[in-house]
Amino acid sequence: GENVEQHPSTLSVQEGDSAVIKCTYSDSASNYFPWYKQELGKRPQLIIDIRSNVGEKKDQRIAVTLNKTAKHFSLHITETQPEDSAVYFCAASITMDSSYKLIFGSGTRLLVRP
């Protein structure tokens, strides 16, 4: 079955620095890779996603890259701000016939120090 590994589990950066979170997936049939942000006590919310036919996607200070050959994808946050502090989850999904399954990584707790 699909397995998603995420690293690091915790990440502390100085405000203004960049943060990178990496994920690997096991099933080569995975075709959609979203990233979710979860603030303390809140529900996860989508921040960016990428599909398997795209290598990179950027939205203001956040970007995601995908390497299908190596089966890994990464989240890049530039010019980090204290409000970026949260838990970030990567996920990978497989669409098979009429079925769709979304599997998450174990999460990265990002702390941005002012």
Residues of the shown chain interacting with another protein in the complex, contacts defined by CB under 8 A? 1, 6, 9, 31-32, 34, 42-46, 49, 51, 89, 91, 93, 95, 98-107
Minimal distance, residue 99 CB to another protein, in Å = 6
- Hey, what amino acid is at 107? G
Three-class DSSP category at 37: strand
In the bound complex, what is the minimum distance in angstroms from residue 25's beta carbon to another protein? 13
Residue 48 or 112 with smaller CB distance to another protein:
48
How far apart CA 33 and CA 72 sit, in angstroms, is 10
